[in-house]
Structures are given as C-alpha cells and as structure tokens.
Amino acid sequence: MKTILLTLLTLTTAAAQVRYEDIVKGAGDNWLTYAGNFQGWRYSPLKQITLQNAANVVPKWTYHFPDANGLRTSPIVYAGVMYVTNSNSVHALDARTGRLIWRYDDGQAKRRGVNRGAAIYGDSVYFTTTDNYLVSLDRQTGALLFSHHFADASTGTISTSAPLVVKDKVLVGSAGGDTGMRGFIAALDPKTGAEVWRTWTVPARGEPGSETWSDLHEWGGAATWLSGTFDPDSNTLFWTTGNPWPDYAGKPREGNDLYSCSVIALDLETGKLKWYFQFTPHDLHDWDAQSWPVLLEIPWEGATRKVVVHANRNGFFYILDRQTGKFLKATQLIDNLTWASGIDDSGKPVIVPGKDPTAEGNWVCPSVKGGTNWMGQSFNPGTGLLYILTQEECGMFTLSNQKPVPMKNFAGGAATEPGGPVILRAIDPKNGKRVWQYPVGNTSRMWTGVVTTATGVLFSGDDDGHLIALEAKTGRHLWHYNVGDVITASPIIYAVDGKEYVSIAAGTNVFSFGLFEPAQSVPVPVITLEK
Amino acid sequence: MRISAALLLTLPVLLRAQHDQSATPKPNPAIKDPVAIAAGAKLYNQSCGGCHGPDGVGGRGPNLVRQLQSHQLKDDELFAAIRNGVPGTDMPPTSLSDDDTWKLTAYIRALTGPASDSRVPGDPVAGESLYWGEKAGCGGCHAILGKGSRMGPDLSNIGGSRPLAYIRQAIVPAKNDPSRNFALYGKEGVTVTLKNGKIVKGIARNRSNYSLQVVDTKGELHLIQMADVKALAVLNHSLMPEDYDTRLTATELRDLLAYLAKQSIRPASDNAKEDSK
C-alpha cells in the first residue's frame, strides 16, 4: 500500500497553463495571486491543518537566499512549484522540498530594492525589477520570454509590488513616492509587456483634479506600491494610492492633492476612473492608503450590499459602497488617535487643529507607520471576521523649511518611530467593531500579514520573530515557531500531494511548515554512470 | 598547476589586504574609454598576457575572467594589485605610471566584464544563422527570448552577464582544461526510471539524495522524490558538444560569438542603489 502511495506521489508539472478561470477561483492547492484571491482575502479553503492538530505543525524545509536582506516576498505556488522573489530575482523551488529548481537574476538592474512577489499566468511567471522592467519567465525552466521596460527610474519611479494578472492584462504599480515621482497603474500585455493603458494617480495640469495641487503635478507621488483587488462582476479594479510628496510639507501642494491617500476604482479594459474616495485629504503624515481594499458582501440596511472595506494607515476603518464609492461608515481601528476626532457623514476626517508637522516637532498618533500598513490582512468567510495587524505607536513629526527638490531624498521634514504596542485585531467588517485582539509585540519592527483557513486557523507573526497560529474565532493561541528573524512578509497556504503547507519569508529565508510525519528511510540512490 | 590553484584561492584576500595598505587614486578616468582600453590592451599583451593568457583565461597565472566573476574587485583594488604585485606569488610589482596603470585596469575590466560591453569582432547576423541552423545547432538546447529548446541554460542574456572569454571557453574549452568534459554536479543529463515504470529523460536542475528536479527534452519540469526512483543513470559528461573547434571555422566561431555577445536584455549597468519602500 505504501509503495503504491509513494508511486502516486511522483509529481510532474506538465500541468496545464494557468488560466483566468483558475485565478478567479481563489486559493486552493495553488496560491496564484499576492492576496490569494481577487477580493484580497488571504484565505485558504484547505482543511488539513485544524484547531485540533495545529499543535503538530513542524518545519518541513527552509530555503536560504544568499543575498537577501529583510525579504518581503509573498510566495506564489502552482503545480508543486513555489515562486519567491528578492530584489531583481525570482527563485523557483520544489514546494515539497525547498530545493532550488531555477533562479533568474537581473544583475544589470540599475537599482536594488525590496520586492513583494511574483504573479503567474499561462506558462509565465511575472515579476518586476526595481528599475521597472516587467519580466516574463517560463514557469518550468526559468527561460526568459521578455523583459519590458515600463517606467523610467530616472523620474523617481521604482517598482516593488507583485504584478496582478487579470484576464489578458498584467497590472503593475509604482513606488518611490517619498522622494518625488508621479504615481500610476499600468496594464501591460502578458505576451509582450506592451502597454495597454496607463492611469496616472496625479492628474496632469488642466485635467480634472489637477486644481487640488498648487504645483508639483509631475512629482506629487500617490504611488501604488501594493497589488490591488478586482471585482469580476463589474470588471473593476480597486487600487489604493500613497501619500502626496513632499510627505510632511503641505505648502508646495495646497489643496486636497488628488488622488493621493485614496482608493480608486478603474475599468479593467480602459483604465478609466469610475470613482475615487480620498481617506486623508492633503495628508501631512505620510499615511499612504496602502493596505489593499478588501471586497465583501455585507448585510446593510436590510439588504446585501457589495462593499469595499479598508483599514487605513490614518487609524480609521472604512466601509464604502463598491459600485459608487459612497461612504457608508468609519470606525476607529486603533485606540491612540489624536489627529482627527472622527469621520463625518461624508467620509471626511474631522481634523483636530494643531497636529500638523512643525519646526519644533509635533507629537501625533498614529506615528508615520500608521494604525496599520501594507502587511496583508485576511478575511475569513467562516468567522465573518477581518484580521488586521495594527500598531498603537505615536511619533514626532517635524517640518523642514527647505525647498523641495525631487529625488533628493527630501520628505519635507521627518518623523520618529519610537515603538509601541503591536496588536493583531479581529474586526467585524459589517460594522467595524472589534471582536478580539492579541498582542504581538512592542517594538513595531515587523510587518507581518495574516492568512486564515476554512478550519478556522489563523497564521501570522509577532514582533519577536515567531510565526504564530491562533484560533480565528477567538484569538486563542494554538502554536508558535521562532523563525529567528524579524518577519516582514505575509504567510500563505498551499498543498502538494494532498499535504497542506504554511509558508512565510523571514529575513533571509523562506520557510514551509506542515503536520508532523515520521521520516521514511530513503535508501542511498544507486546511480549508474552513462557515457 | 598546484601553484595556480593556490593563487586562485588566495589572490582576492591578498589583493584586499594590499588595498588596505596602499594609497591609490580613487577614480579611474580610463574606465569604458575605448581609446584608453585599446592602449591598455597593448600594455596587457606586453606584460600580462604571457602569464594570464591573451584573453585573460589563465596559463601560468590565474584565470582573471573566472576569478573576477567570483571575487569582484573594485577598480582601485585592481590598480593596487597591478602596481604592487602580489607578494609570495610570481605576480611582480610594476613600474607603470598612474595613467598607464589605469589604462590597464580599464582593459582588464573590459576583458572580464559582460561581453555586451566589449567590442566584439565578427558578423552577428551570420552568427545568428549559425546559432539557429544545423551547423552549430545551439537552439536545439538553448533558448533565446522564448525561441529554441528550454532544456539547456537560457542564453537570452548571455552577453549581458558573461565575459566574452567565458562564452568562448564554454563553446571551445581549452584542450588542456581537465574540467572540459565535466558536467556540473547535480545538473547532469539524467535518465530516471520510476517505480511506476515511467521514464524521464532530461537535464537535472537539482539533484540530492532525496529529491530530483528534471527538465525533459520538451522543456517540461518533473519533480521527483528519490524514494520513487527505481533506477537513475547520470551522464558522466556535459551534453554540450565537444567538437566545435573542428565543426566551426575560425570565422564562424567569431561570428557566433559576435551574435552571443549581443544577447543582452539591457544596456550596461550603473552602480546599484538600495530602495526600501
């Protein structure tokens, strides 16, 4: 019986191409997008690891990146192969053993920076280099299919986020907003990388919205440095945007600075703006709206309503209508929040005067890191809860009177990050109410996301370098493992040969965990040499 | 031969140690200047090629191409090694002027840098026909931008990532190179017979005592647990043909090299910077 099983375990990846129909189904054995599904849930339907056996989770393998530093990659898994990224490189691993199958390095890239992950579609694995090349690689061999330059790093734009493939488009974002650049989202052709459309997140002079900037249209930021979400029913993309530049100095950009610190809804086919909602008009605290917009259906005033929910760096949690962007509700995500007394009926913050950065420094909560940040949140349809890593950190914001010079590392001031409680919180997305919370540290060094499963198990990380498992319904601790480094990435879940794995990058390694099984003795292979 | 191997291992350490002690001018005015590189080539042929080989791949002295690929030295470290020699080895100090030493440094950089940065003689169009034609037959194993077989290493960026001498040696290895026919351990041609009777033939991408990952002749990937393997046959030599020195004329080899040197996905790199957001 054992022999038969082992024979069946031999896996070949002569699997079919990855189709839109596969991606739209969301995670299963495979994990095909950064957030697991188009709705941004980071949710796995796998059921092998349960509340009862999570205590038996053990490390299965570790893959070390020889040249990494604070990995931020979220793995993609397809047909038993895991794709993980580092700066300007993709590594393809056997997802059962962690052995390297192939790696692609762009040693000629003009910049190095963080990379959050790859995408997969057809027979291609996609990722972007820091200096804005979309690279397509044969998923089985790593052979280069194209490397297409989509933005000029000399204009301040770099690339850090995982591409998102929707139907026949590869969506790429833009980063670099803290030193001046003009944000955009671009749809590229999956076969060639050629641009299909590009939507700028700072309007050109004369375009609607440009009147909300006194100047700096070419350098206003509003970067798009995290993957967005997609609604197949309305063919709409939802993307969040970063802070306006200079981060802490508002004078050179008087007005609301559209479409910074916003969520924008774009037509997939054309990139045309359907609606926008700005969370923090004229932001002065570097509170990018980066955490992705999660797509849900919730009961609302006696009917089911399609909504976008969003936990913002400014410390508030928002519920918006998905079709129109209409503001429905906001609640306080964190306890230490001093810059606004609330959100009014139109969705605008009620500003507390005197909280802008000053020459002497102004103590404001939350800190520049925000009430939450880009770490991946999870929605679990079983518990109906949304899981968000939050931070109760305040900081000093100072203002510089220097003249802004783009790309000179000028943020218009400075902000401190002294540390503070980091708390994993379960929120009821129907009303924004807090259901439970679990403390995960006090130094605010880590940026760990969350994943949850159909069996009600939640995996995340803590400030002390532990991968942790909790009961999703209650926040009860189930298991932890010290990965030996600060975690700055989000866990994912996949299965190969019917075995469920949890995987996360931390520091310079990628780890994969699964349920304990006694080792089977493997005879030394008998190898014949052929001439 | 033993001395060369020892030199290969110790030279980077010696060079770094020297660099710490010697005050040398920092900027290299000759880098990437074609006139200076040409002057440096002359100096190299007069003073260096005798030991390090005319194209830097070694002889009595170490293989500079291989060494500078694995142990990257800064320009001023290279300058210091040329100026001061390497004590305890046959590498003598030189009495060249600063200007000439920089020219020599610039030439060694060009010699050991990516082929796409070098001026390569030959006709790349003729080389392209050879690559994809039957005579050289490279495309039967090596893809370029999705065209050709994906079983062997991808060559889409070979010119952008490897020095010309490295590429030449891969096609026509030196007759006296004992590693000439060795396949890289774990990356050999394999024939795997599984316990279920299935046979997989291809090139291993990774092989350990416990698992094996193979790309077959069609470019399909197979993930295999060694516990499932009944028999494993490993080729004891590289699948790379060994007869290119007779199969191709000198002109054809030059043309093929000119084509390969052009395979670069982007122009020469600037100094990398770190970005964190």
Residue type, B131: Y
Q: Of A327, A322, A400, give the one whose Cα is nearest residue A358.
A: A400
Domain spans of chain B, in order of start: 2-112, 124-178+240-261, 189-234
Q: Which pLDDT score, from 0 to 100, does residue B90 have? A: 85
CATH of domain A16-515: 2.140.10.10
Instruction: Locate A41 and state its tokens.
Output: 């849930």
Show the 3-state SS of A179-230. Answer: HCEECEEEEECCCCCCEEEEEECCCCCCCCCHHHCCCCCCCEECCCCCCCEE
Q: What is the ipTM of this complex?
A: 0.90
pLDDT band at B9 (very low <50, low <70, confident <90, very high): very low
The span from the CA of A76 to the CA of A120, in Å, is 8
Q: Is residue A242 classed as helix, strand or coil in its secondary structure? A: coil
Mean of all residue pLDDT scores within chain B: 82
- Which of A6, A113, A529 is opposite residue B276, by nearest beta carbon? A113
For residue B267, the 8-state DSSP code is S
Is B223 in Cβ contact with A114 (below 8 Å)?
no
Active-site hit among A29, A247, A257, A286: A286
The partner residues of A504 in beta bridges, in order of sequence, read A511
Which residues of chain A have a CB within 8 Å of the CB of B236?
529-531
| pLDDT tens for each residue of B56-69 | 878 788 888 777 77
Tell me the backbone φ, ψ of residue A69, rounded to 5 degrees.
-155, 105
CATH class assigned to B124-178+240-261: mainly alpha
Lowest pLDDT segment from A489-503, B15-29, B91-105: B15-29
Mean pLDDT confidence for A167-195:
97
Return the biggest CA–CA distance within chain B.
70
Q: How far is B4 from chain A (nearest CA, A)?
A: 28
What pTM, to 2 d.p., does this model score? 0.90
**Thinking of the domain B189-234, which architecture would CATH place it in?**
Roll (2.30)
Mean pLDDT, residues A276-303 taken together: 97
Whole-angstrom CA distances from A375 to A75, A79, A394 are 14, 26, 19
CB spacing of B223 vs A9 below 8 angstroms: no
In angstroms, rounded to a whole number, what is the distance separating the alpha carbons of residues A207 and A337? 35
Q: Checking DSSP bridges between strand A181-182 and strand A220-221, what pairing results, if any?
A: parallel
**Each residue's pLDDT tens digit, A438-494:** 999 988 787 899 999 999 999 999 999 999 999 999 999 999 999 999 999 999 999
Backbone angles phi, psi at A2, to 5 degrees: -60, -40
> Taking CB atoms and an 8 Å limit, are B227 and A160 in contact across chains?
no
Give the mean model confidence (pLDDT) for residues A251-261. Answer: 96
Angle B210-B216-B222 from CA coordinates, rounded to 5°: 40
Please identify, in words, the CATH class of the domain defined by B2-112. Answer: mainly alpha
- Whether residue A399 is predicted with pLDDT greater than 50 in this model: the reply is yes
The crossing angle, in degrees rounded to 10, of helices B75-84 and B2-21 is 110
Single-letter amino acid, residue B14: L
Q: Find the closest chain A residue to B266 by CA distance.
A: A108
pLDDT bucket at B18, cuts 50 / 70 / 90: very low
For residue A163, give how far its alpha carbon lies from the nearest alpha carbon of chain B (Å): 16
Percent of chain B with pLDDT over 70: 83
For residues A114 and A179, give the distance between their C-alpha atoms in angstroms, rounded to a whole number.
16
**Same fold for the pair B2-112 and B189-234:** no
Give me the pLDDT at residue B6, please. 37
The full DSSP string for B152-220 is: S---TTHHHHS-HHHHHHHHS--TT-TTTTPPPTT--EEEEEETTS-EEEEEEEEE-SSEEEEEETTS-
Mean pLDDT over A229-255 rounds to 96
CB contact under 8 A, B146 and A113: no
Sort out which chain A residues have CB atoms less than 8 A from B188's CB and list them. none
Q: Which of A447, A455, A474, A468 is nearest to A513 (CA)?
A: A468
> Which residue does chain A place closest to B208, by CA atoms?
A99
Residue A327, strand partner residues: A320
Split at pLDDT 50, 70, 90, the class of A244 is very high
> Averaged over B134-154, what is the pLDDT?
94
Band of the pLDDT at B27, cuts 50, 70, 90? low
Chain centroid to Cα A85, Å, comes to 14
| B218 has pLDDT over 70 | yes
CB contact under 8 A, A10 and B156: no
- Taking CA–CA distances from A70, the nearest residue in chain B reads B276
User: Residue B4's pLDDT band (boundaries 50, 70, 90)?
Assistant: very low
Burial of B85 (0-12, 13-18, 19+ CB in 10 A): middle
What would the two tokens of residue A437 be? 């919370």
Joined tokens for residue B266:
């982007």
Question: Each residue of B31-83: pLDDT tens digit?
Answer: 777 788 888 888 888 888 888 887 787 878 888 877 777 677 788 888 888 99
Residue A361 clears pLDDT 90, i.e. is over it: yes
Best mutation target among A7, A77, A157 (most B Cβ atoms within 10 Å) is A7
Which residues from chain A sit within 8 angstroms of residue B154, using beta carbons? 141-144
Range in A34-38, A137-141, A192-196, B43-47 the model is least confident about: B43-47
- Partners of residue B232 on adjacent β-strands: A527, B192
A21 alpha-carbon distance from chain centroid = 22
- How high is the mean pLDDT of chain A? 94
B275 and A108 within 8 Å at the Cβ level: the answer is: no
* Domain boundaries defined on chain A: 16-515
For residue range B174-214, what is the model confidence (pLDDT) as tens digits?
A: 776 666 666 677 788 999 999 999 999 999 999 999 999 99
Instruction: Please give the residue of chain B at the shortest CA–CA distance from A94.
Output: B223
- Residue A372, Cβ density class (10 Å: 0-12 exposed, 13-18 middle, ≥19 buried): buried
**B119 has a chain A CB within 8 A of its CB:** no
B20 has pLDDT over 80: no
Q: Over the stretch B249-273, which tens digit does the pLDDT of each residue have?
A: 999 999 999 999 999 998 654 333 4
Q: Choose among B154, B208, B232: nearest Cβ to A144.
A: B154
Q: Does B198 touch chain A (CB under 8 A)?
A: yes
Confidence class for position A323, pLDDT limits 50, 70, 90? very high
pLDDT tens-digit readout, A44-68: 999 999 999 999 999 999 999 988 9
CA distance B126 to B153: 22
Query: Residue for token digits 């295999």?
Result: B224
- Residue A207: pLDDT band (50, 70, 90) is very high
From residue A64, give the alpha-carbon distance in Å to each of A29, A68, A119, A506, A513: 24, 8, 21, 10, 15
Contact criterion met (CB below 8 Å) for A243 and A288:
yes
Q: Please tell me the predicted confidence (pLDDT) of residue B183.
A: 64
Q: Which of these, A523, A527, A243, A461, lies nearest to A368 by C-alpha position?
A: A243
Quote the CA–CA distance of A294 and A372 in Å, as a whole number. Answer: 14
Q: One-letter amino acid identity for A261?
A: C
Tell whether B208 is within 8 A of chain A (Cβ). Answer: yes
- Whether A286 is a known active-site residue: answer yes
Which of A32, A35, A43, A98 is closest to A65 using CA atoms? A98
- Give the count of beta carbons closer than 10 Å to the beta carbon of residue A58: 11
d(CA A353, CA A259): 23
Contacts of A149 in chain B (CB under 8 A): 266
Angstrom distance (rounded) from CA A262 to CA A239: 8
Share of chain A above pLDDT 70, in %: 97
Specify the amino acid at residue A429: P
Token reading at A32 = 């095909």
